[in-house]
Amino acid sequence: MEMTVRPRRLRKNDTLRRMVRETRMDKSSLIYPIFVREGENMEEEIPSMEGQFRYSIDRLPYALEGLMKAGVDKVMFFGIPDEKDEVGSQAYAENGIVQRALREARKQFPEMYLLTDVCMCEYTSHGHCGVLCGHDVENDETLKLLAKTALSHVEAGADMVAPSDMMDGRVRAIREVLDANQHKDIPIMSYAVKYASAFYGPFREAAGSAPSFGDRKSYQMDFHNKREGLKEALLDVQEGADIIMVKPALSYLDVIHEVKNSINLPVAAYSVSGEYAMVKAGAKLGYIDEAKIICEMAVSTYRAGADIYLTYFAKELAGFMDEGR
């Protein structure tokens, strides 16, 4: 038999393989999630996330410097306050942990792009992502606090805000308050398609934000559903979101693909704490090659359609990108 089509021809050597690559990664699309805490001289390793730390504000500049050197110039802040209460008042406090971290980062690294996660769960005594009415999270009351939180982040220097609470109508509520306060140019990256996921386990340990009763299934999405994800994405487009996020990433590549093909906004994907922890644990046991797995996970996420990638591996990945891996 005469074979005229031989796909292996283009796989012959590295030069050829690189030339015909369909997915190319770029450091400018990376965002590094970073935890900030109260106290001094703290660089506290997170037990379930080896290699990730909770930084006190005085230590933060060292972490940011390392990122900048690696070519990662975008960070997303998560705050761990000392005090939590029913209404999460430290989330929108003038001198809250994220607000102070923003001012410090802005001062030390004016060229860095600063994003914030906007949610209540790290700040509420009950660990839910909003205010409670009995055992239910009260949607519309929560919107007011989320809007207040987003505004206080922007006033402290945030370049972009990213609501992760999954309340209905929060993008509109945040857009309205920003617009009313001369912040029409601040974009909103919505965690639009956020599933109720066991992959957030290590994060909740890191932030001490696990709900004290029940779960988040009455606001985060059921992972059996894809069309509902599209509904959430389209709603947030209508409400004025600038970027749509899908979260987690690894088990949700079909959702990323669907969202990318259905809307005309940039799509972000968040490789969450559980993804990081699994890779770290597997590598530590010697079962997988950490660097190769990081690259393969990243490429598959971009290949699925992500334009922006949030990952705890941002620094390592930036290095691998430099090597053209």
Q: Is 150 in the site for Zn ion (CB under 5 A)?
A: no
If binding is defined by CB under 6 A, does position 117 make contact with ligand PBG? yes
Selected catalytic residue, list 148, 247, 260, 280: 247
> Is there a contact between 324 and 317 (Cβ–Cβ < 8 Å)?
no
Contact 95, 81 (CB under 8 A): no
User: Which residues in the 235-294 window bind ligand PBG by CB under 6 A?
Assistant: 272-273
Residue 137 interaction partner, one of Zn ion, ligand PBG, none, beta carbon < 5-8 Å per kind: none
- Which single residue is written with the structure tokens 């992500």? 306
Using CB atoms within 10 Å of the CB of residue 308, give its burial: 0 to 12 exposed, 13 to 18 middle, 19+ buried.
buried
For residue 228, what are its two tokens?
A: 């509902």
From 194, 260, 280, 315, the catalytic residue: 194
Catalytic residue flag (residue 284): no
Residue 69: active-site member? no
**DSSP-based three-state secondary structure for 316:** helix
- Helix locations, the chain, DSSP H: 14-19, 60-70, 97-108, 139-155, 170-180, 201-207, 227-239, 253-262, 273-284, 290-304, 314-322
Name which position in 30, 34, 97, 121 contacts ligand PBG (CB under 6 A).
121
Question: Contact letters (x/-) for ligand PBG, 9-28, by CB under 6 A?
Answer: --------------------
Residues contacting residue 73 through CB under 8 Å, at least 6 positions apart: 28, 67, 111, 112, 113
Identify the DSSP state of 133. E
Kind of pairing, strands 308-311 and 267-271? parallel
Q: Is 200 in the site for ligand PBG (CB under 6 A)?
A: yes
Residue among 109 and 203 whose Cβ is closer to ligand PBG: 203
- Residue 116 binds: one of ligand PBG, Zn ion, none (C-beta under 5 to 8 A by kind): none
| Omega before 33 within 30 of 0, i.e. cis | no
Least gap, CB of 84 to Zn ion (angstroms) = 13
Asked if 203 interacts with ligand PBG (CB under 6 A), we say yes
Using DSSP's 3-state secondary structure scheme, residue 160 falls into strand
Please identify which residue in 119, 174, 221, 233 interacts with ligand PBG, judged by CB under 6 A: 119
Binding span for ligand PBG by CB under 6 A among 22-30, 50-58, 94-102, 115-123: 115-123
Residue pair 146/174 in contact (Cβ under 8 Å)? The answer is: yes
Of residues 105 through 144, those in contact with Zn ion by CB under 5 A are 119, 121, 129
CB of 203 to ligand PBG, least distance (A): 3
Residue 129 is a binding residue for ligand PBG (CB under 6 A): yes
The distance of closest approach from Cβ of residue 33 to Zn ion in the complex, given in angstroms and rounded to an integer, is 13
Minimum CB distance to ligand PBG smaller for 11 or for 135: 135
Q: Which parts of this chain interact with ligand PBG (CB under 6 A)?
A: 117, 119, 121, 129, 164, 200, 203-204, 272-273
Q: Catalytic residue numbers?
A: 194, 247
